[in-house]
Structure 1
Amino acid sequence: MDLHSILQLYDDWLKQGDPRVQDWLLMSSPFPQTLIIMVYIYFVKFLGPRLMETRKPFELKTVMIIYNVNICAFCLYMFHENQNAACLSPGGMSTFQALMNSGVHVIMYSYYALAAMGPAYRTYLWWKKYLTIIQLTQFAVVMMHLSQIFLIWDCHYQCPWTLYILCVLEIIFVFLFLDFYYRAYIKRRKQPKRAVV
């Protein structure tokens, strides 16, 4: 494959994007996001640890609580907006997953905010197991919704390959969350209790 063919493939790929968002920040090309991700990975894996190796860890309890409450509020807003987008405009195939994800993240970040408040709030975190079940249910419902692409052959969805990628991601998440659920709640229950000496 020569350079001209690669550029042609790239141009064809960009034409499949949504023209309404082409002029938005970071949406004209995949390169800005790729650069941001590469800089982030470099910082997290190399530069950040090197800068922090001689310093004490930051105390982030208050920052974590504020962050989690704000993310919870943002996800609640996105849940509302995605609900409107899924119900009132075309494109529900791609917005339904975001709707479900935002709803689950409201619950999830509420849990994280309570957990960040410290040991005094542990009694309010009894529902961690059910949070995992809610997440697994979300993945199952989204997978069923996405399976329509395999059943309706004459559906001309804008970028069907994105739905295939989303299906693969959902399958990966199901396996990861099932593994976590098994290790955290089933395997732990089966292990014999050790005698206290």
Structure 2
Amino acid sequence: MNSSWISFFELPAQPDPFRQRFPLLDSPWPITSIIVGYLLFVLKLGKIFMEHRKPYNIKKVIIAYNTFQVIYNGILFGFAIYYLIIRRTYDKRCMLHLPLYHPDKQTERLLSYAYFINKIIDLLDTVFFVLRKSYKQITTLHVYHHVLMTYFMYWVFRYYGFGGQYDMMGLLNTFVHSIMYSYYLISVIYPEFRGNLWWKKYITKMQLLQFVLLLLQACHVLIFNPTCKFPLFLQYLQVVQSTTMILMFSNFYYHAYLKPKPQKLQKQQ
């Protein structure tokens, strides 16, 4: 392997040694088991389990879950605003994780880990769909997004460390999720207003915008600050995944809000 390829895949020689002190981060097997179990349940076993059962009435559970998610994501977003925007912990031109001796290093670890745990909690979205037999909501986009965000974060922590450029993803994602789970909460408490919540499609637009911003962030660093020591492999991975999510969310937005519905076509004819 030539030197250019070695530099492309180059990662820190010693990732954060404190990683092993956090539950689920000391080995790849726990998170791998969670992801495999999730996929088996939502794609196969859950449907078999529910085949001869009526949809479960879990309204109270979902209300509690959505309330928790609004608060959890809101708190993480507040901390992210403080450390990234107000305190300016990182150089936005090249966001590297903090050195081990930095006074904010433990805060960086805790916030990153709290975000990772929230991605695992997010998997319950799909479990609830199965228990309610709402299978049409278990789309390729939905499952891919959940698996990617959860499994991807583990491997970043393992081979790169906590914090750095991907903290911007946490900032944007927690903001979008705060709004998204607020919509879910209102629509569950007041189902009669579900069709009148005009901001539903704007949540999808916000999701699209976050990936556009992440794509622009990575491209800006690659083009205008090529000496940045954030690993090239992770830079290009951010470009590829942001582009993939833009395409998938754009396709969802088109079919959900722009493509004429069959009934409308029949009326027009």
Deviations 1:44-83 (A, max 9, x none): 3344333333322211222222211211111101101222
In the alignment, the residues of structure 2 paired with residue 124 and residue 68 of structure 1 have an alpha-carbon distance, to the nearest angstrom, of 19
Larger radius of gyration: 1
Is 1:153 aligned to 2:153, yes or no?
no
TM-score, reference length from structure 2: 0.60
Q: Is the 8 A contact 1:146 1:167 kept in 2?
A: yes
Aligned equivalent of 2:67 = 69
Q: How does 1:63-142 map to 2 (within 5 A)?
A: 63-87=61-85, 88=87, 89-90=89-90, 91=97, 92-122=164-194, 124-142=196-214
In the alignment, the residues of structure 2 paired with residue 53 and residue 190 of structure 1 have an alpha-carbon distance, to the nearest angstrom, of 29
The 1:131–1:39 alpha-carbon spacing in structure 2 relative to 1, beyond 3 Å, is closer
Residue of structure 2 aligned with 1:55, choices 53, 56, 60: 53
In the alignment, the residues of structure 2 paired with residue 178 and residue 30 of structure 1 have an alpha-carbon distance, to the nearest angstrom, of 33
For 1:153, the aligned partner's letter is P
Q: Is the 8 A contact 1:68 1:110 kept in 2?
A: yes
In the alignment, the residues of structure 2 paired with residue 44 and residue 129 of structure 1 have an alpha-carbon distance, to the nearest angstrom, of 25
In the alignment, the residues of structure 2 paired with residue 65 and residue 187 of structure 1 have an alpha-carbon distance, to the nearest angstrom, of 31
Aligned equivalent of 2:136 = none
Q: Which moved more, 1:55-64 or 1:12-21?
A: 12-21
In the alignment, the residues of structure 1 paired with residue 32 and residue 167 of structure 2 have an alpha-carbon distance, to the nearest angstrom, of 23
How much does 1:177 deviate?
1.2
Runs of 5+ consecutive residues of structure 1 not aligned to the other structure: 1-11
For 1:49, the aligned partner's letter is K
In the alignment, the residues of structure 1 paired with residue 222 and residue 182 of structure 2 have an alpha-carbon distance, to the nearest angstrom, of 35
In the alignment, the residues of structure 1 paired with residue 63 and residue 219 of structure 2 have an alpha-carbon distance, to the nearest angstrom, of 37
How many residues align? The count is 184
RMSD value over aligned CA atoms? 2.8
Greater RCO (CA < 8 Å, at least 6 residues apart): 2
TM-score, reference length from structure 1: 0.79
Runs of 5+ consecutive residues of structure 2 not aligned to the other structure: 1-9, 91-96, 98-163
For 2:234, the aligned partner's letter is T
Q: Is the 8 A contact 1:71 1:109 kept in 2?
A: yes
Matched residues, percent identical? 34
Q: Is the 8 A contact 1:14 1:29 kept in 2?
A: no
Aligned equivalent of 1:28 = 26
In the alignment, the residues of structure 1 paired with residue 208 and residue 77 of structure 2 have an alpha-carbon distance, to the nearest angstrom, of 18
